[in-house]
Amino acid sequence: MIELIKFTIQQLIVMRYRIIISLAVSLFVSAFSQAQRIKPSLKEISFNNLESFKTPSANWKIVGDVQAGYSDTVLKTAKGLGILHNDFSRSIQNKPVHNLFTKMEHGDLLLEFDFMMAKGSNSGFYLQSRYEVQLFDSWGVKAPRYSDLGGLYQTIKKGNGMKGKAPMKNAALAPGLWQHMDISFQAPRFDANGNKTADAKFIYVKLNGVTLHENINVDGPTISAGLEDEKPYGPLMIQGDHGTLAIKNMKYLAQDDLKPNLHDISFQYFEKSATNLAEAKTTKPTFQGKANALDSRLAPARDKFLLVFEGKLNIPTADSYTFTSLFSGTGSFEIDGKKVLEAKDLFLNGTPVMGTAELKAGEHAFKFWINKDLDWARPGLSLYIEKANSKSIALHASASMPERSPAPLIAVKAESGPEMIRSFMNHNNKKLTHVVSVGDPSQAHYSYDLMQGGVLQVWKGDFLNTTDMWHERGEPQTATALGAPIVLAGNCPIYERGNTKDSIVDYQYKGYTLSAGLPTFSYTYKTLSIKDKIQPEGKGLKRSISITGEGKEKTMIRIAQGSSITPLGNGLYSIGNQAYFVQLAAGQYPKLEGYLGQQVLLLPASETIQYQLIW
């Protein structure tokens, strides 16, 4: 308990002297954009064969497995299905005939895929075969450029063309690990005569869960594009003449340009005289009239009013449509006399209400009413429509939804020395209450469960987001990584064969000591004493576990746990389907066995066990 009190005092000191508050990082965002949207169902491109592609060259192959260490310049493959592999060789370098084109052609598109690169490898994904998102081995790059992983390559347009756009952060993992990319792309727009009216745009590009770009216009095809014209549609192109690459779980969704509209809109405004439709029918409105759009500004009062809209909604195609609304108070939205969404005690900074309706093409009667009776809540009104393969479209006037004041990013940086922050943290859908995150100027950081001595996650780049701890009331009290976290099993290093629980009861925390600002954690387990130290080394973290006491020779130490563990030679193992690496020190001979449907990597307890986490 004394050690925990000491830890809390240190945390308060950190809060006083080490918090860096960045007020400029958040833009004004509507409350709707913070809500959970409907998750569209993406279509997967089969890698059981190459039938989804146009005349693939011989370098493209379907394989069943891919393995590589972080220093390997080639990817080792095994026979099977499910993975697309570019078997690159120097003989095809800079020969565009070896690029790969999909038969599918797209306009607006959502795209996601997993990929693996060898050391020094280079490739790219070209939306519509024209606009490149760079794939490159950028592991460890401190200041990424447009030519690094996730960069938007420079265009071929002469004069004032785009010079290339570097990613906002380097979220690259080590060669030989599977990485994940998400792209939302908007195709260029053209008028009836074929003249371009709007550039292509990357709505977002995300790498390993980290946003690299948002709303970036691209004024023309990029260098090495497969197609140098610009049109509404085009195939995807994967660059094959620059380097080795493996891809799996490639999914896409063409996004329709949804064009519904509201018309013949009328409204009624009741000030302090009605709170619902039944009362409105027996009460004369304060005033009424025609409206061009759904607009909260038609209500002059801030509170104690009922606003009712009626009109026609035109739906261009039959489909299932989702409606999302946000306002303060109570209300409902009806189509053809049927309630689509209804809310009680909704408020503008809260979570929007959603509803779904199967609608035929053509006109539908709608009725939308809100009763603003929460005097402390801000007025405003929004209504969005979307379907699974479309963007969300606002059906309200833009000024009807007031802008939301931004919350500042409260970030702790580890620049002049190591930093330790105590917090709650969500890990594998469970909220842990005794977590410490340790940041280092080397930009290799980790989060640690004090109650079990488990490493929860590791990441690189910026350190810790503590906004939910210290903004306003700080109710969640959780901290999150500012980089791309690799989530580990997070369990106790002591391995109890046959234990089916999440925790080990006998593992007791005894505090920590500091050396050069880095902690060494102390524990007891039955008759054993354990010291646990984690520190930056190379491009990862080195963990040293020291064990003394009676019964040591019968104790096994859990080095790693994951869905799969693969030995790669020279003491290197890939963990969790190539999510990260473990490098054992020379002279250590681990045991691999099954545990609760997963695999564990074990070493017998000795005076000191050392290994490195690499990602």
Question: Which pLDDT belongs to residue 38?
Answer: 53
Q: What is the largest CA-CA distance in the chain?
A: 88
Assess contact for 458 and 541: CB atoms under 8 A. Answer: yes
pTM (predicted TM-score): 0.84
Structure tokens at 460: 């690189």
Nearest Cα neighbor of 613 from 564, 542, 544 is 542
190-248 pLDDT, tens digit each: 999 999 999 999 999 999 999 999 999 999 999 999 999 999 999 999 999 999 999 99
Whether residue 414 has pLDDT greater than 60: yes
Backbone torsion region of residue 224, taken as left when φ is above 0, otherwise alpha when ψ lies between -120 and 50, otherwise beta: left
CA distance 453 to 506: 12
Pairing of strands 381-386, 319-327: antiparallel
Asked if residue 1 has pLDDT above 50, the reply is no
Dump pLDDT digits (tens) for 358-391: 999 999 999 999 999 988 888 999 999 999 888 8
pLDDT bracket for residue 264 (50, 70, 90): very high
Q: Do domains 43-254 and 258-400 have the same CATH topology?
A: yes
The CA radius of gyration of the chain, in Å to the nearest whole number, is 28
Which helix (H) or strand (E) covers residue 3, if one does? helix 2-17
Residue 14: pLDDT band (50, 70, 90) is: very low
Architecture of domain 258-400: Sandwich (2.60)
Mean confidence (pLDDT) of the chain? 91
- DSSP 8-state class, residue 240: -
Q: DSSP letter for 105, please.
A: E
The pLDDT of residue 39 is 58
Q: 43-254: which CATH topology?
A: Jelly Rolls (2.60.120)
- For 298-355, how does the pLDDT look when each residue is reduced to its tens digit (9 = 90+)? 999 999 999 999 999 999 999 999 999 999 999 999 999 999 999 988 888 778 999 9
How far apart are the C-alpha atoms of 391 and 368, rounded to whole Å?
Answer: 22
Convert the pLDDT of each residue in 467-501 to its tens digit.
Answer: 999 988 888 899 999 999 999 999 999 999 988 88
pLDDT above 90: residue 2: no
Residue 25 has pLDDT above 70, yes or no: no
Does position 545 have pLDDT exceeding 50, yes or no?
yes
The C-alpha atoms of residue 62 and residue 47 are separated, in whole angstroms, by: 6
pLDDT in tens, 549-597: 998 989 999 999 999 999 999 999 999 999 999 999 888 899 999 999 9
* Domain parsing of the chain, residue ranges: 2-23+410-614, 43-254, 258-400
Residue 292 has pLDDT above 80, yes or no: yes
Q: 10 Å Cβ neighbour count for 585? A: 14
Reported as a pLDDT band with limits 50, 70 and 90, residue 256 is: confident
For residues 86 and 244, the answer to whether their CB atoms sit within 8 Å is yes
What pLDDT does residue 26 have?
33
pLDDT value for 11: 45
